[in-house]
Chain A
Amino acid sequence: MSAVAPAVPSSPMSTSRASAVALEGLTGRIVEIEAALTNQTPGLKLVGLPDTALREAQARVRSAVEHSGFEMPGRHLTVNLSPAAVPKHGSGFDLGIAVAVLGTTGMIQPESVGDTVFLGELGLDGRVRPVPGVLPAVRAAARAGRSRIVVPSGSEVEASLVDGIQVIGVPSLRTLAIRFGADLDAVDVDPVPGPPVLRERRSDSDLAEIVGNAEAIEALVVAAAGGHHLLMLGPPGAGKTMLATRLPGLLPDLTGDAALDATCIASLAGHGVDRIRSRPPWQAPHHTATAASIIGGGSGRIRPGAVTRASGGVLFLDEAPEFAPAVLDSLRQPLESGRVSVHRAAARADFPARFQLVLAANPCPCGQWGTTDGTCVCAPSARQRYLGRLSGPLLDRIDIRLRVDRVTAAQLRLAQEDGPRVTTAAARERVLAARDRAAFRLVGTPWSINAQVPGSWLRHPDREPAERARESLEAALERNLISLRGHDRVLRLAWTLADLAGIDRPGRSEVGRALALRSPDA
């Protein structure tokens, strides 16, 4: 391999190309990498809106090429990432750049590359290192109609989760080059392993561990069955957090696109992925979280926020009034549309954000208001201000408002005598059955769970509750106990209760219980 030519190369202006994927959010587009050799002193210039990590590819590619048994061409290389106007981030382009560079001097056969897409970071020793976001990138390549993709060995399992595209895992640039026509002997290397796989949350905490609070448990089942957002008000120590952590265990497995999205989000966050995730995720950000961390953002590369990481699962905001009001209100768009669109000067990214919101709050700053065993020391104005931080438009989207009280000694004794408590498994059975009933009723509509159904649909004459059942609801409306919007929420909850009870339409008791779940003080 004498790369130093005895005289002028026969065609001093040779070009070569390879493909890679630029990710923006969960979607990606194919980027063509062109490398051209020009008659200038040796060097490598990268053009096409690279970020810092990508610009440093020059150093990595050069070292990797030279440690893989090749020599860098003895002329100037210009590498262009096209379309040149799309911003590109990260180190995943290294492999494609190296392939294009080796193609200019014919060390790799350009015909054998064809429409293959390359994905991976290069180590200085020529080994190929995994990058975050392999799964969405492979999905983007498959959707773009590409037939083959080369990924780091450490990401081969993850990439293979996508159907309809041939996946080739390579441990090193040398192995890759041999596969694409380089005349070298294979050298065994230790492949760089992928990041540790984040095990899915198999709820290790069971509903049966909760003593007393039977009402709250039932409300949790209703929230799970209808997908309703939930607000829990109660003094410290009432078990609000304990209840909330049990909610993901009650939800059905993720399927189809929701499952693939959840897996892609985990991959994008840099977690190892070895199978499609099926359990609903759980996110519980601290109340000092910024809007960017909740919604997604960042300069340069736009990263998903907590609403996206919770998509398909539960977003739990403990001490909700302590969150910055702007942060809470930024939840309104994703709550409404199930997606979040993050715009920055340089780029825009759309992420899924179909989460179930659970808020927990103390009733007042000292937490004792309304308890029987404590005395509130807050001024009425302080109390009002405290819950007033949860804005009306946000509360409007929350169907269930639940008062959770501390368990008393008497309740504890009773609970112990009552025998077996509700287990997560049993409760999930009921949730699944109720969701099936709702899905069956909603066939032919864009919705599948009760929480998504708009008021106009609920108020349609075909879907009236039983005659006697409406009376209490209308009485409440007449006495201004609830607004029309509140009326719709009660109806929605009544349908979920009917689904759980296994009856065709809500009756008097369902409407009554729905009214109670709307809670006295909110």
Chain B
Amino acid sequence: MADKDDLGRRGEDETAAYLTALGWRIVDRNWRCASGEIDIVALDGGELVIVEVKTRRGRGYGHPLEAVDPRKLTRLCVLAGAWRRAHRGVRARTTRIDLVGVLLPRHEEPTFDHLRAAA
């Protein structure tokens, strides 16, 4: 497995732990369909949250969330709809999309930048 995929995987694991610590329930991870992949699906109380995780070693290539452009946000909206259609049994009042930027410097604790309701 490529180094970058490994990093992304670790970022997602850390984020899942962070969200659980917030009191959220993780519903699904790495869900795939024809349009792409959702990193994490979670329930924040009665609200369904589609979470996109971006992980970086450091800020040398900019802020992690800068990598999420309008096109990516649109795709996340499409994926959110697809996930709801595929899981009609899951009851939630509303759906929203959150972005989490994770900084994972070597030998240091991760830091999270959590942007709620990005779209």
Q: How far is the CA of A6 from the CA of B111 in the complex (A)?
A: 6
Given A4-B103, A41-B68, A41-B73: A75 and B111 within 8 A (CB)?
no
Residue of B nearest to A62 (CB): B62
Q: A75 near B112 (CB under 8 angstroms)? A: no
Given A2-B111, A4-B103: A42 and B117 within 8 A (CB)?
no
B11 within 8 A of A: no
Q: A41 near B65 (CB under 8 angstroms)? A: yes
A187 within 8 A of B: no
Q: How far is the CA of A6 from the CA of B113 in the complex (A)?
A: 6
Q: How far is the CA of A40 from the CA of B111 in the complex (A)?
A: 19
What does the 1/0 interface line of A24-50 toward B look like (CB < 8 Å)? 000000000000000111110000000
B115 within 8 A of A: yes
Q: B116 near A42 (CB under 8 angstroms)? A: no
Q: B115 near A6 (CB under 8 angstroms)? A: no
Q: B63 near A74 (CB under 8 angstroms)? A: yes
Q: A72 near B63 (CB under 8 angstroms)? A: yes
Q: A75 near B101 (CB under 8 angstroms)? A: no
Given A41-B68, A41-B73: A7 and B118 within 8 A (CB)?
no
Q: A41 near B113 (CB under 8 angstroms)? A: no
Q: B73 near A74 (CB under 8 angstroms)? A: no
A484 within 8 A of B: no
Interface contacts (Cβ under 8 Å), in number, total: 44
Task: For residue B83, give the distance in angstroms from its CB to the closest CB of chain A.
Answer: 21
What does the 1/0 interface line of A273-299 toward B look like (CB < 8 Å)? 000000000000000000000000000
B59 within 8 A of A: yes
What does the 1/0 interface line of B92-118 toward A look like (CB < 8 Å)? 000000010101000000011111111
Neighbouring A residues of B103 by C-beta, 8 Å: 4
Q: B118 near A43 (CB under 8 angstroms)? A: no
Given A42-B63, A42-B66: A74 and B101 within 8 A (CB)?
yes
Q: How far is the CA of A43 from the CA of B63 in the complex (A)?
A: 10
Selected contact of B114 from candidates A8, A71, A72, CB within 8 Å: A8
A5 within 8 A of B: yes
Given A6-B111, A42-B66: A71 and B59 within 8 A (CB)?
yes
Neighbouring B residues of A2 by C-beta, 8 Å: 111
Neighbouring B residues of A41 by C-beta, 8 Å: 65-66, 68-69, 73, 99, 115, 118
Q: How far is the CA of A40 from the CA of B113 in the complex (A)?
A: 12
Q: A5 near B113 (CB under 8 angstroms)? A: yes
Q: How far is the CA of A97 from the CA of B8 in the complex (A)?
A: 35
Neighbouring A residues of B116 by C-beta, 8 Å: 8, 39
Task: For residue A31, give the distance in angstroms from its CB to the closest CB of chain B.
Answer: 28
Q: A4 near B115 (CB under 8 angstroms)? A: no
Neighbouring B residues of A40 by C-beta, 8 Å: 115, 118
Neighbouring A residues of B114 by C-beta, 8 Å: 7-8
What does the 1/0 interface line of B59-103 toward A look like (CB < 8 Å)? 100110110110001000000000000000000000000010101
Neighbouring A residues of B113 by C-beta, 8 Å: 4-5, 74
Neighbouring B residues of A7 by C-beta, 8 Å: 112, 114
Neighbouring B residues of A72 by C-beta, 8 Å: 63
Interface residues of A in 353-390 (CB under 8 A from B): none
Neighbouring A residues of B66 by C-beta, 8 Å: 41-43
Neighbouring B residues of A71 by C-beta, 8 Å: 59, 63
Please, could you name 5 A-B residue pairs with CB atoms under 8 Å apart, sorted by A? Answer: A4-B63, A4-B111, A41-B65, A41-B118, A72-B63
Which residue numbers of A lie inside 8 Å of B, CB to CB? 2, 4-8, 39-43, 71-72, 74-75
